[in-house]
Structure 1
Amino acid sequence: MFLFLLIAMVVVVGAVTLIVIGGGDSAALPEAAPEQLVDPLPPDRPVGRAEVEALRFPVGVRGYRMTDVDEALGRLGAELAERDARIAALEAELAGVRPGPAERPEPAEPAPPAEEAGK
């Protein structure tokens, strides 16, 4: 009985192996294309909050693909640096237009009353 079960198990494992490997033209498990990052970050305009929230990375064997994450983070970092530089330039320009507290003109002293001016 034990010998019969051992032979049956070997036959079943062999049949499953042939089916999985593809013992003919019809493959039981077709080749799956690896997941690729569908970049929702627009290349022609600044990235908005909705695009960042919609960003999803494909999962690889050991987590996220590092190159996809690095590219997205690099792009976001460059845009943030560009925005920070633009904000700094606009703030500097605005500071040049408005006089600061030290640059404000002193209020003129009131003129003496007319009676004192004639004496």
Structure 2
Amino acid sequence: MFWFLLIALVVVVAAVTLAVAGGGGAEVLPEAVPDRLAWPLPGARPLGRADVEALRLPMALRGYRMAETDDVLDRLGAELAERDARIAELEAALAGAQAAAMRREKEEGEQE
């Protein structure tokens, strides 16, 4: 009885080893595609709202809460758009002030 159990154990271990190692004619699995962010964000220019809206983060084994992540990305995109609009407004105001200062300097130079 002991020899029978020992031989049965050896056969089971060998079968499991062959199944795990890929023996027995099983197909080889293809290489896993890495689940990494294929960085779609531009490196040569500042980020804009459209860049953030187009961004999709990869999922990990445990995943992530998509709704919360999407909410954060939406807020970030909106804040980037507000920032860009404010910068454009300030640059326009600065250009106007510089033009007015140059006009005043020109007028003062003509009066002398």
TM-score range, shorter chain: 0.3 to 0.5
User: Which structure ranks higher in relative contact order (CA pairs < 8 Å, sequence separation ≥ 6)?
Assistant: 2
Q: Normalising by structure 2, report the TM-score.
A: 0.39
Q: Normalising by structure 1, report the TM-score.
A: 0.37
